[in-house]
A = this chain, B = another copy of it.
Amino acid sequence: MKAVVTVMLKQGVLDPQGAAVQSALGSMGFDGVSGVRQGKVIELELADGTSEAQVNEMCEKLLANTVIESYRVEMSAVGESA
């Protein structure tokens, strides 16, 4: 089975990568981009039967810095299209 973990900086935490992307898009002529936030996505291939609670534990302990980042877990069975 598969889990997709999305980790984003919490609201209010300065996101210099996002600000850099926003500035670059503006200077390339893409108007109307009023905000950019950049995060990371981690796709995990897991043994069948792995629970969402275990994936949450992975996030708390390793994948996300919960002081400044929030995370979201989506589980999917094998066979579903990615």
Contact = CB atoms under 8 A, between A and B. Distances in A.
A28 B60 CA distance: 12
Interface residues of A, number: 32
Contacts of A50: 32
A34 B47 CA distance: 7
A6 interface: yes
Contacts of A44: 33, 35-36
Interface string A13-41: 00000100100110010111111111111
Interface of A: 6, 8, 18, 21, 24-25, 28, 30-47, 50, 54, 57-58, 61-63
9 contacts: A6-B41, A18-B43, A31-B47, A33-B46, A34-B46, A35-B45, A38-B43, A39-B42, A40-B40
